[in-house]
Structure 1
Amino acid sequence: MTQRSTSADFVTGFATGWPEQQPDLMILSLTTAKGVRDFAVNKDQALLIAETIRKTADALASPKS
């Protein structure tokens, strides 16, 4: 994995119809120390992102006590 100098504070995904009259897009809003970046993704891209997140989450270790 690439080393990054900035990590995300949090990420939120939501379907808003934004830009106006485009309910076929999902907006992925990424908030970092450098500010907020919004990305518009179509259904195929959103499903690929979701699958990648699921696979990564499945591989995470259990929290330490």
Structure 2
Amino acid sequence: MKRKGTRVEWWAELLDERQAVLTSVGSDTSPLVAQEPVALAPAPPLPEKAPEVAVAPGSPLVVEFEP
């Protein structure tokens, strides 16, 4: 897919029935900016087996893992 732009500048105003501004987000002189996300490299695959964890004798920590 070919794209022309990677950036959008915008603002919004909430108006009442008389067109009075109730609230706004950004403005004409200071708009909000949204940019195209940067492509990230894929995450490496998870290991087949979880690493062994050493637990001290009498420790309340219980580690159980079933792949």
Instruction: Please say whether Structure 1 and Structure 2 have the same fold, judged by a TM-score greater than 0.5.
Output: no
Q: Which has the higher strand share?
A: 1
Per the normalisation by structure 2, the TM-score is 0.20
Query: Whose radius of gyration is greater, 1 or 2?
Result: 2
Which is richer in helix? 1
